[in-house]
Each structure stands twice: as structure tokens, then as C-alpha cells.
């Protein structure tokens, strides 16, 4: 009887053990064999709505009840966001804030067993941009795409002025995660994003980041007032500028050809007056330079100087002439440009008193003018006729109304000097008879001397004034005898050429 009882208890124990094993076996199997984790395809930002698209491959297990999406939070731990049915393989997250784009996807089977994260985490590229005031560039940096390690062909960086179309700025190697965007405009917002290229051709877009190129406040105006020729080697440039702000330094730039870049002439630091005059040296009769003023600023922490703003341009007027059959043609370079526009040109000619006077006014589109000088040769300024051109600005503008003056151009006329061979001293009122000996000239010499001597070499007359002649008298005022006398003339003409003449003059008494 005792044996039956023990057998009975042993049989019941075996049934309990079998039942326990039967109940625990699925749990033991589940803990050791979670469902296969779905492979993430990519994480990418949809710029049309700024949503983050997460895409994944289905799990290889068939007993899948849910897919779960996790997002890396600010505490750097993953938190579950959403769960989806086993037929969903992508989701667009609209509330990510677009700052931390790291996601993971897991699978859960019908028993509630969930796959582990493992290495199945993808993080889209995160772009950050910053304006470098010293370099005048936007410095763009980005994190590498996580999840495609070793399978990235490279990164494409797109950027442009905020609100305008994006442009491809560069395509760089997968190891490169920065770019320096030069040539950016002052006080302008720019936007950037990065496209990651997988070796398979698949792509992922980063979020868009923006930065503003904040420069010191530019002067409210910087204006070239005028550029005038002072002499054969000097021009005078005047410019006006607002010096009440943080930028009070200005750089004078010039170029000889509108198709070439400007080069620096000089920088004027900490200008204390709103109107500044600057002198430049070069052959003004053969070269026309174009000028422009830049307002510049040098931050304390920077080695380089920043260009903040630029003025209008201006140029010295180069005037040239051509003479054909006593018709002179004047041609000049157009003046470009007054802030208020060009009103026109005034053509001036030098008079006998040495002063220039207006002879013609022409419109702003005229750069050539003609006149005949036949009537000017005998009585104006024999030997050469001089002209200059003035460009006039319209009224108004921020600076001072300007007048730009050209170089002086000289029209060379063939010179003539005739020396009479005889004359008769005596009453100057006698008609038809020369009573004074001097050469006849159709020009005004720069330097002049005439001397008359007798055959023995004794000096009878000397003068440095070409208007003075020898009246035939000697030191005591007595007239010399009839005979042949020797003259010597030396002069320098308006071209700078010095000439000497020696000859005989006969004194006759009628």
C-alpha cells in the first residue's frame, strides 16, 4: 500500500514537471530567438514639408505583429514614437524638430517578443552653417551619414540665397564634412543642405540650415563726386561719404580697362570729414583710369580688411585732337558715372589772355566735336590752339554736385618765321616801308633772343621780347650807316624745339 502511494505521488510530480516545461518552453525559445530586425533603408528629409521619411525592409520572420519606430531624444536615449502593422514599411515623422535625425526600427512577433536595436540605427546628415566675418565666407559643416558606413560615394552640397533656387556648390569625398562658401553678399541670408549619395545610387537629404552674413552697418552713401585733370601728371578725385556710422575707412580703387578687376591705390583710415580730396599721379594726356571707392572695415580679431560697400565709378576724361586741312576734331572718353547722371559736356578753348572760355555745349551722349581754326591762326595764339572738356553732373544726390575736367589738348599748327633782308630806319609813318627790323612769326615762342652786330662784331641791339625790333639806331640814338649788318636769332617754339638763325640784313636810306 505504501508503494502505491509513492507511485501515485511520483506520477503526479512527473505530470507537473511536464506541464511546467510545456508552459515555459515558448518563453525560453522567445527569449533566445527574437524576431529578425528589419533593415533600415534610409532616413531622409522631405524639403517640400520638412518631414523626416524613415524607410525599412520587412523582417525576414513571418510572425510579425508590429513594427516600432524609435527616435534618439535629447538625453541621447531612444524613445518609442509609433507602432505600425506588419504591412507598413515607411513613415514620415512631422514633429522631429529637424535637429536630431537618428532613428531605429524594431519588429515584434505575435508572442510580444521584440527584436534588438543592434547596429540598425540611421542618422541623417545634420548641417550647420556659420558666417566667418574675418574671411567673409560662410563656413558649412555637417555630420556624416550614420548607417551607410563604408558605402557612401560622397556628399553633394547645395546652397544659395535664402528664398532663391538652390545650386550645387560642390561634390566632395565621403571623408569630407565641411565647405567654405566664398563670395557671399553682404547682409544676406543663405540656406544650405547636403545630399548623401549611397554607392547603390540611393540618396538621403539633410535638413536645411540658414545663416545671415552680418557685416557692420555700411555708410548710408559713398559717392565719387568728380575726377578732374590738374596738370600733365596729376588728377584730383573728390568723394563724399557718410562717416557717422561704424565704418569710416575707405579704399581708393582704379583700373585702366573696364574688363579688368580694380586694384588698390591707397586706403584712407578713419576719415574725419564727409568730403575727401585725393591726388593720383600718372600721364594724364595718354591714360584714362576708372576709379571706385570702397568702404572698408577691419575687425579687431581679423587679419584681413572687409569690403562693406562700393561707390559709383568715375574716370578722368582723356581728350585728344586731330587736325586735317585746318579742321580740328576733338574726341574724348565718356565720363562714367555721376551719382545723379551726366547732364552734358562743355567744350572750352584758351583765349589770347591765357584763360579758357566756353565755345560749345553738347549732350551727354556726344564724345566728338569739330571746328575750323582757319580764322584763329592769325590773331588767337599762333602756333597752337588749346582745348579742354568739362563733364557736368545733374543736380541732387548725396555727395556734392561735380564737374570733371579733362586734360588740355594742344592742336599743333605749322609755324612760320620770316626774317626780312633789308629795312629803312626812319619815320615809322612812311607808308610801304619797313622802319624796324624783326622777324615775322605766326606763333608765340617760349624763349627768344635776337642780337644785331656790325661787321666788326660790335653789338648794336639785343632783345628777349619777340615784339621788339631794331629801329636802326645805336647806343647814342644815332642811326647807323647804310650797309650790311649781321643778326643772330635763337628761340624755343611751343613744341620745346630750340632753333638758331644767323644772317645778314641791309640798312637802306631812301
Domains 127-212 and 417-507 are alike in CATH topology = yes
Residue 377 has pLDDT above 60, yes or no: no
Residue 11 has pLDDT above 50, yes or no: no
Of 456, 506, 457, 462, whose CA–CA distance to 485 is shortest?
506
Residue 489 has pLDDT above 90, yes or no: yes
**CATH of the domain spanning 127-212:** 2.60.40.10
Q: Average pLDDT, whole number, for the chain?
A: 88
C-alpha cell at 257: 580697362
Beta-bridge mates of residue 390: 346, 405
Write out pLDDT tens, residues 122-138: 999 999 999 999 888 99
C-alpha cell at 280: 593720383
Kindly state the helix (H) or strand (E) to which residue 253 belongs, with its residue range: strand 249-255
Write out pLDDT tens, residues 455-477: 899 999 999 999 999 999 988 88
Residue 6 has pLDDT above 50, yes or no: no
Top CATH class, 222-412: mainly beta
The second-level CATH assignment, the architecture, of 40-123 is Sandwich (2.60)
487: left (phi over 0), alpha (psi -120 to 50) or beta: beta
Write out pLDDT tens, residues 204-231: 999 999 999 998 999 999 999 999 999 9
CB-based contact 149:187 (threshold 8 Å): no
Domain boundaries, the chain: 40-123, 127-212, 222-412, 417-507
Give the separation between CA 214 and CA 8, rounded to whole angstroms: 92
Residue 487: exposure state from Cβ atoms within 10 A (0-12, 13-18, ≥19): buried
Give the separation between CA 152 and CA 198, rounded to whole angstroms: 5
* One CATH from 3.30.70, 2.60.40, 1.10.1740, 2.60.120 for 417-507: 2.60.40
Residue 374 has pLDDT above 80, yes or no: no
End-to-end CA distance of the chain: give it in Å, rounded: 196
CB-based contact 450:420 (threshold 8 Å): no
Residue 446: exposure state from Cβ atoms within 10 A (0-12, 13-18, ≥19): middle
* Among 6-20, 40-54, 349-363, 489-503, the least confident range: 6-20
* pLDDT of 154: 97
From residue 124, alpha-carbon distances to 103, 111, 168 in Å are: 9, 33, 19
The mean pLDDT value for 141-164 works out to 96
Stated pTM of the model: 0.57
Amino acid at each position: 500500500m505504501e508503494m502505491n502511494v509513492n507511485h501515485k505521488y511520483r506520477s503526479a510530480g512527473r505530470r507537473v514537471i511536464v506541464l511546467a516545461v510545456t508552459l515555459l518552453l515558448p518563453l525560453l525559445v522567445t527569449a533566445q530567438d527574437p524576431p529578425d530586425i528589419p533593415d533600415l533603408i534610409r532616413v531622409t528629409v522631405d524639403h517640400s514639408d520638412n518631414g523626416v521619411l524613415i524607410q525599412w525592409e520587412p523582417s525576414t520572420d513571418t510572425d510579425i505583429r508590429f513594427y516600432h519606430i524609435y527616435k534618439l531624444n535629447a538625453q541621447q536615449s531612444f524613445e518609442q514614437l509609433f507602432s505600425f502593422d506588419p504591412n507598413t514599411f515607411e513613415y514620415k515623422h512631422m514633429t522631429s524638430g529637424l535637429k536630431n535625425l537618428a532613428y531605429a526600427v524594431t519588429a515584434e512577433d505575435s508572442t510580444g517578443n521584440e527584436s534588438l536595436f543592434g547596429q540598425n540605427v540611421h542618422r541623417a546628415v545634420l548641417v550647420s552653417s556659420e558666417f566667418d566675418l574675418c574671411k567673409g565666407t560662410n563656413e558649412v559643416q555637417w555630420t556624416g551619414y550614420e548607417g551607410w558606413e563604408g558605402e557612401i560615394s560622397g556628399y553633394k552640397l547645395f546652397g544659395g540665397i535664402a528664398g532663391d533656387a538652390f545650386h550645387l556648390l560642390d561634390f566632395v569625398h565621403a571623408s569630407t564634412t565641411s565647405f567654405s562658401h566664398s563670395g557671399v553678399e553682404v547682409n544676406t541670408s543663405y540656406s544650405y543642405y547636403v545630399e548623401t549619395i549611397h554607392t547603390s545610387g540611393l540618396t538621403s537629404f539633410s535638413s536645411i540650415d540658414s545663416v545671415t552674413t552680418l557685416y557692420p552697418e555700411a555708410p548710408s552713401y559713398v559717392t565719387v563726386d568728380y575726377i578732374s585733370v590738374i596738370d600733365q601728371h596729376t588728377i584730383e578725385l573728390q568723394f563724399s561719404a557718410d562717416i557717422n556710422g561704424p565704418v569710416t575707412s575707405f579704399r581708393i580703387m582704379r583700373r585702366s580697362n573696364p574688363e579688368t578687376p580694380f586694384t588698390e591705390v591707397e586706403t584712407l583710415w578713419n576719415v574725419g570729414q564727409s568730403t575727401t580730396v585725393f591726388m593720383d599721379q600718372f600721364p594724364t594726356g595718354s591714360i584714362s583710369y576708372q576709379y571706385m571707392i570702397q568702404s572698408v572695415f577691419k575687425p579687431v580679431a581679423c587679419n584681413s580688411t572687409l569690403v562693406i560697400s562700393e561707390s559709383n565709378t568715375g574716370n578722368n576724361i582723356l581728350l585728344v585732337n586731330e587736325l586735317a586741312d585746318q579742321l580740328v576734331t576733338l574726341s574724348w572718353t565718356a565720363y562714367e558715372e555721376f551719382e545723379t547722371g551726366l547732364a552734358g559736356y562743355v567744350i572750352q578753348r584758351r583765349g589770347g589772355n591765357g584763360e579758357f572760355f566756353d565755345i560749345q555745349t553738347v549732350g551727354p551722349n556726344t564724345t566728338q566735336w569739330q571746328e575750323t581754326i582757319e580764322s584763329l591762326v592769325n590773331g588767337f595764339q599762333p602756333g597752337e590752339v588749346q582745348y579742354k572738356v568739362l563733364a557736368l553732373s545733374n543736380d541732387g544726390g548725396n555727395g556734392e554736385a561735380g564737374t570733371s575736367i579733362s586734360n588740355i589738348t594742344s592742336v599743333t599748327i605749322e609755324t612760320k618765321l620770316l626774317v626780312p633782308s633789308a629795312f629803312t630806319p626812319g619815320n615809322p609813318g612812311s607808308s610801304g616801308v619797313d622802319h624796324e627790323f624783326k622777324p615775322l612769326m605766326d606763333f608765340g615762342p617760349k624763349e627768344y633772343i635776337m642780337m644785331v652786330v656790325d661787321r666788326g662784331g660790335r653789338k648794336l641791339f639785343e632783345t628777349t621780347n619777340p615784339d621788339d625790333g631794331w629801329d636802326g639806331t645805336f647806343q647814342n640814338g644815332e642811326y647807323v650807316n647804310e650797309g650790311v649788318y649781321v643778326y643772330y636769332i635763337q628761340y624755343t617754339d611751343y613744341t620745346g624745339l630750340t632753333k638758331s638763325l644767323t644772317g645778314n640784313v641791309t640798312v637802306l636810306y631812301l
